Structure 1
């Protein structure tokens, strides 16, 4: 049996309840290791671009003060850092204008923010399935 090390993940959401729920959810799944959680996009940018602490996955809320999710993704992408990091932007409403800017970027995916307990529990599986499809490899 082949053992896989967990995928490291940053969680960024300005809503403390959402952040704590997501952190709890991903910490309960052995395929993930939460290595950072943030309440602002600025903190994420500092962690990745200044401290060079780069997870496998960034799960970031679209609408946050100061720097929103796509602004963070843009800064990281333009920097050339974290080129392989998978970026999942979540929001209760998908902004198709923003989504279309990343249509050709295989490392950026927009997801509807879970609103029910069933959807919340499905989120890690959705992320794993998306990675499987993108990489065409078993995670």
Structure 2
């Protein structure tokens, strides 16, 4: 899937090193415009629901203090803050399918958190592939 314009992406992860890696890969990929690398779900909720700073894609870590990725996605849904926002919840755990069953939306995807440089560098393409698949499924 090649978007007509760069997709605006927002990333949230409580780990400094992970945020820096995500920042690097999305800043160098011309298919994306990085709107911010935030430390918590609370910051994301503030940006999207209060400031109306809504990206096209949200990439959020599953396990963060105060707000898990699932809790954040549920809060955004309850507020109807960004119903068509593509939400990618990433986790290093292998039981992501258990969490996915909690959410029923064509705009939410659970991904295994990339751990190798090859996986990290492939992440933008993986995200675009999932978005294309969901568009074909929904449309």
Q: Deviation of residue 99 (structure 1)?
A: 1.1
Counterpart in the other structure of 1:52: 52
The runs of 4+ residues in structure 1 deviating greater than 3 Å are none
Counterpart in the other structure of 1:66: 66
User: What secondary structure, in the 3-state scheme, does the structure 1 residue paired with 2:58 have?
Assistant: strand
RMSD of equivalent CA atoms: 1.6
Mapped pair 1:13 → 2:10: no
Mapped pair 1:105 → 2:109: no
* Structure 1: gaps spanning 5 or more residues: none
Counterpart in the other structure of 1:95: 96
Counterpart in the other structure of 2:38: 38
> Compared with structure 1, are the counterparts of its residues 88 and 3 closer, same or farther at alpha carbon in structure 2 (3 Å cutoff)?
closer
TM-score norm. by structure 1 comes to 0.92
TM-score norm. by structure 2 comes to 0.92
User: What secondary structure, in the 3-state scheme, does the structure 1 residue paired with 2:54 have?
Assistant: coil
Q: Deviation of residue 51 (structure 1)?
A: 0.6
User: What secondary structure, in the 3-state scheme, does the structure 2 residue paired with 1:101 have?
Assistant: coil
User: What secondary structure, in the 3-state scheme, does the structure 2 residue paired with 1:136 have?
Assistant: helix
Partner Cα distance (2:77, 2:102) in 1: 12
Counterpart in the other structure of 1:134: 134
Q: Deviation of residue 36 (structure 1)?
A: 1.5
Partner Cα distance (1:40, 1:3) in 2: 28
User: What secondary structure, in the 3-state scheme, does the structure 2 residue paired with 1:60 have?
Assistant: strand
Q: How many residues get paired?
A: 135
Q: Deviation of residue 81 (structure 1)?
A: 1.5
Partner Cα distance (1:58, 1:26) in 2: 12
